[in-house]
Structure formats: C-alpha cells, structure tokens
Structure 1
C-alpha cells in the first residue's frame, strides 16, 4: 500500500514539475521571431494627419491613384525572441511565420543595432527612390560617385583605387561626362561585355584616365540577365543635389523595400494626370539610383497587408516571383517588374484597363523553368 502511495506521489510531483516547465516555456522569451503582415500605407496620402510624401519647389499635380508601400511586422528582436505561447500560436496560424532569431540577425547585433541599420536603409531607400522618381519625370540630379573598391579577378581591380571620383566615361571616340549615376549606367547599359572603355577619375586632385574592360552581369535567380555590362567597381554616392525639396512623413518604419513605391508616387505627383487611374496599387522592391528594382523579404505578408487595404494590383520584384506564385490574395493581380520604367508602363496599363500584355509572376517562373516556393 505504501508503495502505491509513493508511486502516485512521484507521478503528481513529476506532473506538477512538467506543468511548471510548460508554463515557464510559454511566457519566457525564446529563440524565434514571428513575422506577419504589417501596415500598408498610401505614400501619396496622409497618415495621422501628416502627408507621407511632400514635394516643394516645383509644380505638382493631383492624382486619384493610391500607391501603397507595404511592410512586415515582426514580434521579437535580436535580443529576445517571442514567448513560447506566441511561437505556438504562430505555428497554428496561416498568416504568421516563425523564424529563428539567428536566421535574421547575427549574435553580434543588438536590437539597437538592428533599429539603426533599418533606419539607415529607409533613409537610403528614400534617397534612391527620390533620385529615380525625379529623373523619370525629367529632372537632373547631380551627385558625386566615389570608388570604394573593385571586384577581384577583373581589370578594374588593377587600375582603380578607393577614393577615385568618377568624372567621365569614354567609349570609342565618344566621351560622356558623369555628373549623375544615370550618366554612367546609361552608357554601360548600351555596350557589350568585354568592351574596353576609359574612365576619367579625380585621384587626389589629379585627373587620371583609366582603361578598363567591362564584364557581364550574372543571371539572377530567374535566369534573366541584365542588358549591357558593368565595370566591376563599387561606388558610393554623396553630395546629392536635389533640384526640388522632397520630404517624407514616415516614422517608425525601417528597411529598404519601399524605394520603388516612393519613386512611383514622386513620378505621379510631378506628371499631369492620374498615373494609375483611380486604382489602389501596392508594391514593394528596393530602388537603385539608376531605376532598377531589387529583391526584398516577406513578400507574402506584404501582399496580405495590401489586400487588407483593398489593393487589387501589386507590383513585385521579378526576383521574388518564386515566393509569390500560389500565395496571391484572392482578387489580387500581381505583376513582375525589374525597373521603374517597367513599373510606370505597368501602372499606365492598369489605368487603361488592359493588363493582358503585362508580365505576371507566373509567366516569370514559367520562363525561368523553376518551381515556386511552397
């Protein structure tokens, strides 16, 4: 009899201990963060009574088109993951994603470091989106291009030095002064890899002429290859001279992925008429100074956030199409874009009510011969 009592007592103690451990696990921070759809904001409108985009110093135009930047909300930080209860709930949810903290952040990054990085990326995306949008609308945006390094195993590595300031590019007998990023990228976009060009630089106050052989771009994840060629150097931009005053009223949102929508909204404000008609158009994508759209993260969450605001059209970076196909919200058309010019053409087609000739993510994946992510 005493043995039976002792056994029951041990089982009760073990059960109680297990319950305590479960309870602690549910409330203690873990090693995961949870991502879900963040707010989608109309860049061309207001939020809490503040214009998200303002342009002064030139004529602007009213538009009926709404351009939504999209975001991802993250619970947990690089310092502390979510609680066990939050992690468990996310596993059961179809609209949340559980991600290991270390898959997102390194051990050396604190939450403060991440916030600072995200803020810097947002500022950079605003600069590049502004430059691209202004230049698409016909403005010139002068800047200084300084070499910070060169790719190994290229001719550029043997001739450029960090600190060289790019002043010109000569192809054959034609010399183009480089005062904007698009001056340089525009020329390179028209010549084949293996072409010898001469780059004029300012090196410590002395003008130098540097011969370099251009190289090809590597195909992206969809198999698409950028037209033209590149120098194989890394450039830093500075002393950007904006011809008009562009300001943003966006707070507490970081990261680089709104650049493409900033550029579209700026172009729309600076050109007569409503670029996209009276439609709600959402999207995402980094934006380069030359108007190229790059990959981002969390696109499935961003599409859901856009759908919650009634957006029926979404512009996705072509390189993200593998994550798009099969996850499009009901009633939403998703089009693939690689440049700001493609985005503008796509939006114009949406306004005209004829999207039959536009490139969808399904078409991109079919052309690439790869399967989409599950």
Structure 2
C-alpha cells in the first residue's frame, strides 16, 4: 500500500508538473491606433498634413500560451476549459512538429510588417493618394502554371500590355482572360523579358499563375507604426482606419469608441483572423461600443458577442470606413450588416 501510494503521488506530481500539450488563447490588451503607445504616437506620419482625431480605433490582441510560446500546466488548461472567454486547443492542431518560439516570432514579425505596408497602401488608395507598388515572384507553387517560365526574383510589370499596378490589376486580368494564355512583361536581373503563361484554374474557380508574390511599395511620404511585442497580420484593417482618420480633417469616429480586427491587402480587402472570440471580449472589457469584424469570421462571432457591444461585419476597407462614419455621426447603424 505504501509503495502504491508513493507511486500514485509521484504520477500525480508528474501530471501536475509536466507541461500540458495544449495551446491556450485569452483576451489580450487593445491599442488605440489614433492614440499613443508608451507615450509615443502609435502611428506617426511625416511629410504630409495630419489632423488630431478624437475617439478610439482600437486594434485587438490575443494572449497565446502553450506550445513553443512557453509551457502551461494541466491546471492552466483546466482553468481555461472552464473559462468561457478562453479556448483550449491540442498543440498539434496549432503548430507543426518542430516549430520553435523563434520561428513563431519571425513569422509574426514578417506578417506584421507586411500588414502595416498593406494598410498604408489601402488607406492611400481610399484617399486617392498615388503610390507605387511592384509585384515580385518569391516562389512557384507545386505544379505551377508558370513552371519553366517565371522565376523567383521576377518583377511583373505588365499583363497583356496593361501595367500591373497592384495585385488587383493582376487578378482582374487573369479573370478576364478566363483561362486563355496571357502575355507578361517582367524585369529579370534588370532587363525586361516578354513571357507567355497559360493560367490554371484553382479549386476555388479563379485563374492563377501559380506563384507566391510579394509587394514592394514606394509611398509619397513616411508612415511609421510603433507597436512592440505584437505580431501577426490581424491589425491591418485598424491600422488603415487610423491612417485615414489622421489624414482626413475632422473626426471619423465622432469621438466614439471603436475596436476591430482583420487582415488587409493593398486593395482594401479585409480577411479572416484567429482568436475573434477573445478579441470581442478584450474590446468590450476595454470600453469599446462597436466592433468591426471580418465577414469571414461571422460564424465564430454569432453567440459570442458580449452584452452592449455592437458588431458590424466588413469585408472591405470601404465598408469599414462607412460603418465608422455612420456610427460616428450618431446613426443607430440599423442598416449596417451584422453577423446574425
């Protein structure tokens, strides 16, 4: 009995002390994109007239623990399981085997920088402020339509004789071609090359070159976003709204408190993010009246909206700006789309 008891105690202690193979998500802090972070403007614009807006346009965050982010105990997992504001996921469903903390930090940093650049481009596009964007091939997909034609490092400058100004220009041209071959002009090693590619249809039904592209921007003035210890692409839509508000005379928010989330590309398309339920809670706890949620996240929003928080679904920057203008001007927002 003594031996069995000691063994049980040892096994129990091991279960408590050993890391639990789970990833926990909890509501994180919010940051006002038209305010300050650590006594410094979160967004700083140089070389262009700006205006000091009132109100708040908060980006929202999620605390992630477990896995490569640091060990959690079984007690931590149990507490998260019974907390409706947290989620618990098996580690293997969240991270690929062998993923390290430095891998995550590097990925989050790269995606944050990319989202900031896309947010600036989307904001300037909304305000009809010209800027330059170039699309460069990073790598080719497996069984790519462009195999043997395009190469990593190629910058696509035109398609069927029309200049490629952004990713939307390229997508539209491929859609219009409806699967027919397209003529591309690219810069390769500083020289212009003329190439022909026959796009392939994706499972989603659109036509693609089968390449991963990166955008490089040349903006007419400097926009600096200073936000430490926050990574990932999900703040893009709120960065874009903050930039628009700072470059526009008057108050976009009407002095009211908005929060939101969503990836964004240079054309202003707002996309899906993770941790939406925790972000709703964090926004509400920090006093937000309204929340701008990506339309692609609506299924996760329904049934998880804190009392007193009004959620508006958005799929483009234009829709987000319109929602803030309507609600900021005192409208009840009854005509705005929701996640119901």
User: Do they fold alike, i.e. is TM over 0.5?
Assistant: yes
Which segment is superposed worse, 241-250 or 138-147? 138-147
Q: Please say if 1:297 is aligned against 2:283.
A: no
Match of 2:241, SS?
Answer: helix
Q: Please say if 1:142 is aligned against 2:132.
A: yes
Deviations 1:36-77 (A, max 9, x none): 001111111112312211111100112223111111102224
C-alpha separation in 2, matches of 1:188 and 1:354: 40
Residue of structure 1 equivalent to 2:56: 66
Match of 2:122, SS?
Answer: helix
Residue of structure 1 equivalent to 2:39: 49
Residue of structure 1 equivalent to 2:232: 255
In the TM superposition, residue 197 of structure 1 has moved relative to its aligned partner by: 4.4
Change (3 A) 1:148 1:122: closer
C-alpha separation in 1, matches of 2:117 and 2:67: 27
Match of 1:361, SS?
Answer: coil
Q: Please say if 1:243 is aligned against 2:220.
A: yes
Change (3 A) 1:290 1:215: farther
Which segment is superposed worse, 147-156 or 324-333? 147-156
Residue of structure 2 equivalent to 1:365: none
TM-score by length of 2: 0.89
C-alpha separation in 1, matches of 2:178 and 2:332: 37
Deviations 1:69-102 (A, max 9, x none): 1111022241753012211211222222222222
Q: Is 1:193–1:230's contact at 8 Å kept on the other side of the alignment?
A: no
Change (3 A) 1:197 1:40: same
Q: Is 1:129–1:287's contact at 8 Å kept on the other side of the alignment?
A: yes
Select the residue among 328, 335, 339 that pairs with 1:357. Answer: 335
Which segment is superposed worse, 297-306 or 152-161? 152-161
Match of 1:127, SS?
Answer: helix
Residue of structure 2 equivalent to 1:25: 15
Deviations 1:262-305 (A, max 9, x none): 01111111112211222211111111122211211110001100
Residue of structure 2 equivalent to 1:126: 116
In the TM superposition, residue 323 of structure 1 has moved relative to its aligned partner by: 0.8
Q: What is the total number of aligned residue pairs between the two structures?
A: 339
Pick the structure with greater CA Rg. 1
Gap runs ≥5 in structure 2: none
Which segment is superposed worse, 133-142 or 247-256? 133-142
Q: Is 1:31–1:80's contact at 8 Å kept on the other side of the alignment?
A: no
C-alpha separation in 2, matches of 1:336 and 1:154: 35
Residue of structure 2 equivalent to 1:344: 321
Q: Is 2:145–2:200's contact at 8 Å kept on the other side of the alignment?
A: no
Residue of structure 2 equivalent to 1:94: 84
Deviations 1:204-256 (A, max 9, x none): 4443333445666765xxxxx9xx96554431223x22211111221111111
RMSD (Å) for aligned C-alpha atoms: 2.7
Q: Is 2:168–2:267's contact at 8 Å kept on the other side of the alignment?
A: no
Gap runs ≥5 in structure 1: 1-9, 220-224, 363-374
Give the structure with the larger strand fraction: 2
Match of 2:232, SS?
Answer: coil
Residue of structure 1 equivalent to 2:155: 165
Change (3 A) 1:205 1:24: closer
TM-score by length of 1: 0.81
In the TM superposition, residue 356 of structure 1 has moved relative to its aligned partner by: 2.4
Q: Please say if 1:287 is aligned against 2:272.
A: no
